[in-house]
Amino acid sequence: MNAQVSLLKGSYNLIYFPHELYPYLVQPIIRTLIPQTQDLHIATHAPEHALDGLTPDQQHRFLNISITPIECSLVVHASWAAAVFGPVIARLPAHLGAQVHVSTDTYMILSVIAAGLDPAGRVMELSSPLALAGIPIFFLTTYYSDFILAPTHERPRVIDALSSNGFDCLEHGRFFNHAAYKHGHVRFAPPRTPLHVVAELQRRTFELLKKRSVAPFVDPDLELLLAGGRDVAQLPGAYAAYPSPNRRKSSLPEARRATTWADGVDPRLFNCIVSALVSQPKFLSVTLAEEDPPSVLMDKNLLSLFGDSVVGDFNTTLIPIFLNLENLPSEVTGVVSGVAGKLVQEMKVRNMLEMSYLSTARASAVVLPQEQAERALAILDNCMEMADVVP
């Protein structure tokens, strides 16, 4: 396995609320999606650098917006949670504002590069060490990458757990822990989590789910597609962001000719995302990350909104298997590892190349091709039935 885990800059909050409140919060969601809408509203009234978490060209280092049948959930930089969502939440009637939850803890974002593992294997191999260390995580599989969210205060234990299991952990291009490298930077093969330990994690997971009456389910009317935004560098006119000496000189002041958010994105794709958000979709998960084009996991019915602004295998229908975790404590550990690991073990599919995992604030979803989803649901149902719960 050749795997690297890179820590992104910044601390992030989880924001989640029921569908009934979506109309009240769609405006700050769109303001966050399009960062430069902040310039006129906040920058002149807030302290310098009040809104962090952006690259020099004003794009988000990380942002996830997810609407699922269970909840609406966002992962946003802590400064945006406070400055953009905070005032809107405060203006809501008290009985509505109380239903919008902003995590007390902040989270760090770990970006995963693991070319030697199929998606299902990555979920299991990355989540197991953290579950064994008792660290609660969220896991997001996108079209381009995988991301782990872990509590910021657990940073030393996260790095130790991953490093000791053979992952290269980097921060801004530098290794967190050089202990994994020996003899001229040739790394030994990572230790595998013992099978009996994996089995124990799975047993505890399904006992907990059964005890809290968390049953896996599918929505028979929901089919998904996973897509990626086209690389903006390959779009017609992309050169415009990099002025040539031969181009006619602009009459704009120098400050306004600087590279902006709009120069680095595909405006068609962002128009499509806004259209999808305004439609109050049944399912939509959008992830923006510093090193990747945008990724969209969407209700199949939304594809017509996106046209050729996205790429992907649109012939493969994906089915999400949901776990509603609202009755579990937010610090629960092992659910991602236990569920994904059991599916990898029992399905015995040589390469589960299409498996995705989406953790939102109070739910988890395993996303599989239609032909595999029915079998996976039967496996999870059987695990729940066989779980031994002590009164």
What is the four-CA torsion angle of 316, 353, 65, 265, rounded to 10 degrees?
-80
Query: Tokens in use for 389?
Result: 């719960």
Q: What single string gives the DSSP state of each residue in 21-67? A: GHHHHHHHHHHHHSGGGGIIIIITTS-TT-S-SB-TTS-BSEEEEEE
Band (pLDDT 50/70/90 cuts) for residue 250 is very low
Cα–Cα distance for residue pair 374/188, rounded to 1 Å: 39
Identity of the residue numbered 236? P
Integer CA distances (angstroms), 110 to 9, 145, 158, 291, in order: 9, 10, 10, 12
Q: Tell whether the torsion through CA atoms of 253, 255, 257 and 263 is positive or negative.
A: negative
Surface-to-core class of residue 253, CB atoms within 10 Å of its CB (0-12 exposed, 13-18 middle, 19+ buried): exposed
Identity of the residue numbered 220? P
Q: Note every long-range contact of 347-350, with CB atoms under 8 Å and residues 24 or more positions apart, other chains counting.
A: 347/372, 347/375, 347/376, 347/379, 349/120
Q: In whole angstroms, what separates CA 257 from the centre of its chain? A: 33
Cα–Cα distance for residue pair 58/259, rounded to 1 Å: 9
Distant-in-sequence, close-in-space partners of 164: CB < 8 Å, separation ≥ 6:
129, 191
**What's the chain's Rg over C-alpha atoms?**
21
| Number of Cβ atoms within 10 Å of the Cβ of 49 | 9
How much of the chain exceeds pLDDT 90, in percent? 48
Each residue's pLDDT tens digit, 65-116: 999 999 999 999 999 999 999 999 999 999 999 999 999 999 999 988 765 5
Least confident of 267-276, 307-316, 318-327, 338-347: 338-347
Integer CA distances (angstroms), 165 to 154, 158, 352, in order: 17, 11, 22
- Whether residue 3 contacts residue 192, with contact meaning beta carbons closer than 8 Å, is answered with no
Each residue's pLDDT tens digit, 210-229: 999 999 999 999 999 999 99
Delimit the domains of the chain by residue range.
3-221+317-387
Predicted TM-score (pTM) of the model is 0.86
Cα–Cα distance for residue pair 154/133, rounded to 1 Å: 10
Band (pLDDT 50/70/90 cuts) for residue 232 is low
pLDDT for the residue 245: 34
What's the angle, vertex CA 115, arms to CA 107 and CA 287, rounded to 5? 40
- Domain 3-221+317-387 CATH superfamily: VC0802-like (3.30.2130.10)
Q: In whole angstroms, what separates CA 130 from the centre of its chain? A: 17
